[in-house]
Structure 1
Amino acid sequence: MQNNDILIRLRYALDIRDKDMVEIFKLGGVEVTRDEMRKILTKSKDTYEDEVDVEESEDHIKCNDEMLESFLNGFITFKRGPQPPRQEQSKSESTSEYSKDHINNMLLKKLKVALQLKTEDMLDILDDGGIIVSKGELGAILRKPGHRNYKECGDNFARKFLKGLVARYRG
């Protein structure tokens, strides 16, 4: 699943307004104007693999992994407020442990923190999205990469979670 598609689905599921999207990007450390944000939230030609008549928008901006992670970090700050910096952590230690293969794991983990979801809440959201998982499976997905019980989250799993968020927050 493309990062732009994740942002589009997340924005719809949580009913985030344009000015709030710009603010969330800013809180994550990425300066984005309202027009640029709208260009990020347009679907690219790659999204429509089967449809031939879809034109590629020249105004489309591709969201990379760093931009998505910055947005999710800003979303945590937006929902929970700023956190005072810890003494042992410097500002330069902001390197991500997630690679392209682990972007869906990062999405679930950061949304869990931002929305203050408990494991049972996440299981209910996944159930609403049409997928039933055990606590153990969910725990494996939420672990750090490199842990012996870590499990990679697939695109379908992330899609079902975002679909469950729609059911929960939009009714």
Structure 2
Amino acid sequence: MGLTNNDVLKKIRVALKLRDDDIVEILKLVDFNISKSELNAFFRKEDHPKYMELQDQILRNFLNGLIIHKRGPMERKPQPPKKEKKD
């Protein structure tokens, strides 16, 4: 049996010693708002009545936010000058 998105989030949380506040702030970096109670539903056991399955979109947003949190925002590459057309 493979890892679920919930398992991946749990393992990252433990490995990086992240608190609920940290995860909420990381998600805010990519303009994704979530409450602590919604977040806690992802960390519950599967047989708990308030357990929620972590959707791909939330995990993707968390990972993108984590990149910004650890590395900082991506620098824009300078655009090459546009060539002018001569008639």
**Aligned pair 1:58/2:49, yes or no?**
yes
> Which protein has greater RCO, CA pairs closer than 8 Å, 6+ apart?
2
Q: Which has the higher helix share?
A: 1
User: Which sections of structure 2, spanning at least 5 residues, go unmatched?
Assistant: 80-87
**Aligned pair 1:7/2:3, yes or no?**
no
Q: Give how far 1:86 is off.
A: 5.4
**Aligned pair 1:75/2:77, yes or no?**
no
Q: 1:11 corresponds to which letter in structure 2?
A: R
Match of 1:154 in 2: none
Structure number with greater Rg is 2
**TM-score where L is the length of structure 2:** 0.75
Q: 2:66 corresponds to which letter in structure 1?
A: F
Match of 1:28 in 2: 30
Percent of aligned pairs with the same amino acid: 36
Q: Give how far 1:29 is off.
A: 3.2
Q: Give how far 1:85 is off.
A: 4.6
**TM-score where L is the length of structure 1:** 0.41
Partners of 2:77 and 2:57 lie apart in 1 by 23
Partners of 1:87 and 1:66 lie apart in 2 by 30
For the aligned residues, what is the CA RMSD?
Answer: 1.9
Over 4 Å off, 4+ runs? 85-88
